[in-house]
Amino acid sequence: MSLFKTFTRFSFFLLILLTASKTVVFADGGFPVRPGRLLIAPSASYFFSNTQWDSTGVKKSFPNSGKYTSVGITLYAEYGISRRFAAIVSLPYVYNTYTQNIAPRTTVTSGLTDLETGLRYYLFNIDFVYYFSLQGTAITPTYSNNPNLGYGEEGGELKLAFSGTGSLFGKSTYFNASDGVRQYFGNNGPIQNRYTGTFGITLDDEFKNQISVSLSGINSFSDDKKFISGIPETNRNYSFIQASLSYGYSFTRELALYATGGEFLTGRNTSDGTIFSLALIYRLDYR
């Protein structure tokens, strides 16, 4: 496998992870969804990278002055089935471009990636302030024979989440924390631990403006640890931590817009990059 193909296979899958992780601010956690409420969240993201961390965590430039950019579009939806259950679905589309100073100078790949469908169960709450949930998710590739869009393997994830509200300096606050274990069912896994923590605060009494900070990461483990020049052939054994800052504005109770910027803090066998995203949140009640 060529170095360039190795890199693109790794980078395209990394973008899938980033596209999924940016929805944490408004969608991830244990807060219940009202029965009969449908939350629709289309989002768009832009990712840029020209450096990477090797297997020892040392940062270096991509070979041949390489640069990677990607635009991702994700449709996320969540529906409250009952007081205890909610259904979740997420589907990303990516358009990726890699440029370097040798042939091929520009390579473009695009397509739908992995469909995620899940069921969330609200375990219990404490005084209707703190909420706990358990979610099971199925991962289904929407492509075939295209390693540039992901593993091409089915998988499953089980995730626990804890959410709550409070106050700080007279302003309303909230937090979400989640930790999930994901297993892909193909050869050499991988098995992954995915974690996220978010803290947000409202800036006015009308609850129209809010800011939040998030810290998220993935630890991926596999018996397949092969890599070339610090770039893994199949991106099955890696880790990273990412920090994000978001601003949200609520136009109405049903409509809100979130802008997010994220930066990698550390990593191993993964890219260093910056991501920007916009997400529109629309709520519809059917009961």
Are 243 and 265 in contact by the 8 Å Cβ rule? The answer is yes
Q: Is the pLDDT of residue 17 over 90?
A: no
**Tokens 């990394």 belong to residue:** 14
Q: Is the pLDDT of residue 18 over 60?
A: no
Please give the residue that has the higher pLDDT: either 146 or 73: 73
Name 193's bridge partners.
Answer: 181, 219
Please give the residue that has the higher pLDDT: either 30 or 186: 186
Which stretch of 81-85, 115-119, 226-230 has the lowest confidence by average pLDDT?
Answer: 226-230
Q: How does DSSP assign 44-92, residue by residue?
A: EEEEEEEEEE-TTS-EEEPGGG-EEEEEEEEEEEEEE-SSSEEEEEEEE
Domain 3-285 belongs to what topology? Lipocalin (2.40.128)
Taking Cα atoms as reference points, which of 275, 280, 282 lies closest to residue 19?
275
Are 113 and 95 in contact by the 8 Å Cβ rule? The answer is no
Tell me the two tokens of residue 51: 């450096």
**Which helix (H) or strand (E) covers residue 253, if one does?**
none
- What pLDDT is recorded for position 164? 96
Q: Is the pLDDT of residue 32 over 50?
A: yes
Q: How confident is the model at residue 232 (pLDDT cuts 50, 70, 90)?
A: very low
Residues 156-172, mean pLDDT to the nearest whole number? 95
Could you say which DSSP state residue 101 is in? Answer: S
Are 52 and 272 in contact by the 8 Å Cβ rule? The answer is yes
Q: How confident is the model at residue 180 (pLDDT cuts 50, 70, 90)?
A: very high
Residues 25-32, mean pLDDT to the nearest whole number? 64
Please give the residue that has the higher pLDDT: either 49 or 1: 49
Q: Is the pLDDT of residue 66 over 70?
A: yes
Q: Pairing mode, if any, of strands 231-232 and 191-202?
A: unpaired
Task: For residue range 99-131, list pLDDT tens digits in order.
Answer: 899 988 898 888 999 999 999 999 999 999 999
**C-beta neighbour count of 97 within 10 angstroms:** 14
Residues 65-82, mean pLDDT to the nearest whole number? 93
Output the average pLDDT for the chain: 86
Please give the residue that has the higher pLDDT: either 265 or 21: 265
Residues 86-109, mean pLDDT to the nearest whole number? 91
Which stretch of 61-75, 215-229, 263-277 has the lowest confidence by average pLDDT?
Answer: 215-229
What are the start-end ranges of the E strands in the chain? 37-53, 59-61, 67-80, 85-99, 106-112, 114-126, 130-141, 155-168, 171-184, 191-202, 209-221, 227-228, 231-232, 238-250, 255-268, 270-285
Are 149 and 134 in contact by the 8 Å Cβ rule? The answer is no
Taking Cα atoms as reference points, which of 160, 158, 159, 164 lies closest to residue 131?
164
Name 159's bridge partners.
Answer: 135, 180
User: What residues does each domain of the chain span?
Assistant: 3-285
Q: How confident is the model at residue 25 (pLDDT cuts 50, 70, 90)?
A: very low
- pTM comes to 0.85
- What pLDDT is recorded for position 29? 62
Helix (H, G, I), strand (E, B) or coil at 250: strand
CA distances for 253 relative to 45, 175, 281, angstroms? 24, 20, 10
